[in-house]
Chains A and B, each alone.
Chain A
Amino acid sequence: MTANELPTVVIACRVFQHLLEAYLPHEIAERITFMDYGLHRVPTNLTLSVQEQIDAVEQPSLIVLGYGLCGNGLNGIKSRQHTLLVPRADDCIAILLGSREEYLREFESEPGTYYLTKGWLESGSDPLKEFNEYKEKYGPQDAEWLMDQQYQHYKRLVLVAHNQEDLERYRPQALKVAEFCRRWDMRYEEKLGSDRFIARLVEVAGDLDRADHDFLIVPPGGEIRQADFIGG
């Protein structure tokens, strides 16, 4: 059986839920395993959780990972008897913006950017949420100090969404965060993302021969390495 004839399994971060459900054929979309947001905060947890899901798939399959390298969270993941397909992106922001190049351009124009996305606003974290958590745990004074230590060099807060409707829906919440971040003179911007990367991922999952440099294919018995994403 060639890799193209294998059954398709999708394991993805919940941040891509709406995009994957929109693009994948119904019979695959309803079987996606979505993983918790924020696993990347401790990259080892991400590695272990994703590996566990891969290991739970018995039949040799094409496993599509809806992840980027995510702080090395994917480094060291083994394909076992499966074939893995992974977008060659640093993290979800690159995928949501549509390409690595676009992401790196954003980095060059303003390194100190904190991105807000639909998924992240719903169930992840943001500086305001973090501040409230710190206040409860460490008291207001230490919370202020801790926040300054972490964010004082940031310059920009960007809400990324895929359409005007989502921008409008999440704007009020984003603006509250923006208001809070003004203490570090961070400016607020909005950016329309692109579904190009996800659309291509779905296309390549249907026909691996269509993969280009934007995608990593790991054969059975292989392993995902950081070097596959980042050259020397």
Chain B
Amino acid sequence: MREILDKLSTCILEGKAEDTPGLVQQALDEGIAPKTILDDGMVVGMNEVGDRFRRGDMFVPEVLMSAEAMSEGLEILRPELVSSGAKLIGKIVLGTVQGDLHDIGKNLVGMMCEGAGFEVINLGFNQKPEAFVAAIKEHQPDIVGMSALLTTTMRSMGHTIKAIEEAGLRDQVKVIVGGAPVDQDFADRIGADGYGSNAVAGSELAKRLVAEA
């Protein structure tokens, strides 16, 4: 059982999108639980991708290929996760903040959250504070996740939290932030509830926050 999960993790790390569905199927055929395939295979690979990217040992093209491999694998795994009785653990609204149109990392967080059992509402990129506020009113999520790639646009995260406060909605959601220039110190300064250093860390954080609630 270990061997196939290792293979799957390596496949994600190396971004071999064409091989992932086959490996996921093989793991399922071996009788491994869908949740185990995800957590002990795919997520392990993706976590390593996140770490290497932060360290500068992996670059955007490789991350994109890994994300694609993850996505292809999830296509096979998703129905199995649902039919194995994995319950929705919460709802998350995700968006890249105003002025920023980079969405590779944010979409990856969405994918990881979906895998972790969240209902994901992906607002897209260049989203104004008002758009986040409107989405909270409409979807009543447990968590709002904001992303930015640039130091110029990360300021918008603070503005968005203020807008959420002013709308009187701050107490009903947890706000988490991430993206290349973001760190824990910044998250603390703008009053976010948490910071994720990569996509896996982001989904783990989201899981922890709904478990605590």
Q: Is B208 an interface residue (CB 8 A)?
A: no
Decide: A44 and B99 in contact? CB cutoff 8 A: no
Decide: A230 and B56 in contact? CB cutoff 8 A: no
Q: Which residues of A contact B151 (CB under 8 A)?
A: 69, 71-72, 90-91, 226, 229-230
Q: Is A34 an interface residue (CB 8 A)?
A: no
A203-232 vs B, Cβ < 8 Å mask (1 yes, 0 no): 000000000000000000000011101111
Known contacts A138-B61, A153-B125; A90 and B104 CB within 8 A of each other: no
Q: Is A154 an interface residue (CB 8 A)?
A: yes
Count B interface residues, CB 8 Å.
Answer: 30
Q: Which residues of B contact A225 (CB under 8 A)?
A: 185
Q: Which residues of A contact B64 (CB under 8 A)?
A: 146, 149-150
Q: Is A42 an interface residue (CB 8 A)?
A: yes
The contact of A107 among B99, B103, B189, by CB within 8 Å, is B99
A-B contact pairs, 21 of them (CB 8 A): A44-B55, A71-B150, A72-B180, A75-B183, A91-B152, A104-B152, A107-B152, A111-B98, A111-B126, A146-B65, A149-B104, A150-B60, A150-B104, A153-B101, A153-B126, A154-B101, A226-B185, A227-B189, A230-B155, A231-B189, A232-B189
Q: Is A119 an interface residue (CB 8 A)?
A: no
Residue in B61, B158, B189 with the greatest tally of chain A CB atoms within 10 Å: B61
Query: Measured between alpha carbons, how far is A146 from B103 in the docked complex, in Å?
Result: 13
Decide: B56 and A44 in contact? CB cutoff 8 A: yes
B128-168 vs A, Cβ < 8 Å mask (1 yes, 0 no): 00000000000000000000001111110010000000000
Decide: B181 and A108 in contact? CB cutoff 8 A: no
Q: Which residues of A contact B103 (CB under 8 A)?
A: 153
- Closest chain A residue to B158, Cβ basis: A232
Q: Is A193 an interface residue (CB 8 A)?
A: no
The contact of A111 among B56, B99, B183, B186, by CB within 8 Å, is B99
Taking the nearest CB of chain A, how far is it from the CB of B156, in angstroms?
Answer: 10
Q: Which residues of A contact B191 (CB under 8 A)?
A: 232
Decide: A226 and B186 in contact? CB cutoff 8 A: yes
Q: Is A45 an interface residue (CB 8 A)?
A: yes
- Closest chain B residue to A232, Cβ basis: B189
Decide: B183 and A226 in contact? CB cutoff 8 A: yes
- Closest chain B residue to A138, Cβ basis: B61
Known contacts A42-B56, A153-B101; A72 and B181 CB within 8 A of each other: yes
Known contacts A72-B151, A146-B61; A226 and B181 CB within 8 A of each other: yes
- Closest chain A residue to B100, Cβ basis: A111
Q: Which residues of B contact A154 (CB under 8 A)?
A: 101
Query: Measured between alpha carbons, how far is A110 from B139 in the docked complex, in Å?
Result: 29
Decide: A111 and B189 in contact? CB cutoff 8 A: no
Q: Is B190 an interface residue (CB 8 A)?
A: yes
Query: Measured between alpha carbons, how far is A192 from B113 in the docked complex, in Å?
Result: 45
B174-199 vs A, Cβ < 8 Å mask (1 yes, 0 no): 00000011010110011100000000
